[in-house]
Amino acid sequence: MDDFKEPRQDEAEVQQENKEAAEDKTDDIIKEDDNGDNKYKGYYLSLGVSLGLCFGVAFGMLLFDNLAVGIGLGLSIGIAAGAGLDSRKNNK
């Protein structure tokens, strides 16, 4: 029990510096648009991938009777659409 030490002032300062550094990194990732939207980098790409996989599974089972073909097509279309929307957003 004698090994326990009270926190020093230096440790509190280090914790505050770490918190400020983390907030700065978050500000780099999440940027506010002109119209007030807070979207992180790659937002539309991840949205396109997830929606592409969902629709790919559905269309693969309904149209192709092959889940792998539907997943592949849905994923590729979702990546293309999401990357296009992300690049359009970044160019504005």
Is there a domain that residue 82 lies in? yes
Please identify which residue in the block is written with the tokens 């996989």.
53
Answer for the pair 82, 46: CB distance below 8 angstroms, yes or no. yes
Burial of 68 (0-12, 13-18, 19+ CB in 10 A): exposed
> Which run of H or of E encompasses 86?
helix 67-91
pLDDT tens per residue, the chain (92 residues)?
A: 556 666 555 777 777 777 777 766 666 555 655 555 656 778 899 999 999 999 999 999 999 899 999 999 999 999 999 999 988 877 76
Domain count for the chain, please give it. Answer: 1
Which residues form the domain of 66?
39-92
Is there a domain that residue 78 lies in? yes
pTM of the prediction? 0.61
Is there a domain that residue 10 lies in? no
